[in-house]
């Protein structure tokens, strides 16, 4: 099913899976507290926002960015866009 998704959506789904809780494993240990779950999401979002800010500053304000290969510049811009989409997903999940 994931093979049919556009590449950027595959990346988002992959990232979401990477940070998802293994509910089957945790079921044996007891119920997962919503506060713990939400606090992990908030921490992930905080870290991601920091990385987005650093990448954005590099793209927008660093003269070195202009000297790198155009394809690499486009890849970095695409990465920033996908990171922002992932951050938005985390924000929705936190609500």
Write down the mean pLDDT value for the chain: 83
Average pLDDT for 33-40: 82
Residue 35 pLDDT grade (very low, low, confident, very high; cuts 50, 70, 90): confident
Chain centre to alpha carbon of residue 63: 26
Residue 23 pLDDT grade (very low, low, confident, very high; cuts 50, 70, 90): very low
- What is the full DSSP assignment across 42-90? HHHHHHHHHHHHHHHHHHHH-HHHHHS-HHHHHHHHHHHHHHHHHHHHH
The 10s digit of each residue's pLDDT in 43-56 is 999 999 999 999 99
pTM of the predicted model as reported, rounded to 2 decimal places: 0.65
Tokens of 55: 């990448």
* Cβ count within 10 A of residue 86: 19
**pLDDT: is 38 or 26 the higher one?**
38
């Amino acid at each position: 099913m994931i093979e049919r998704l556009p590449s950027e959506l595959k990346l988002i789904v992959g990232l979401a899976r990477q940070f998802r809780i293994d509910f089957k494993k945790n079921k044996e240990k007891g119920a997962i507290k919503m506060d713990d779950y939400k606090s992990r999401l908030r921490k992930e979002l905080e870290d991601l926002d920091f990385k987005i800010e650093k990448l954005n500053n590099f793209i927008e304000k660093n003269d070195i960015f202009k000297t790198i290969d155009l394809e690499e510049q486009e890849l970095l811009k695409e990465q920033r866009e996908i990171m922002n989409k992932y951050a938005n997903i985390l924000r929705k999940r936190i609500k």
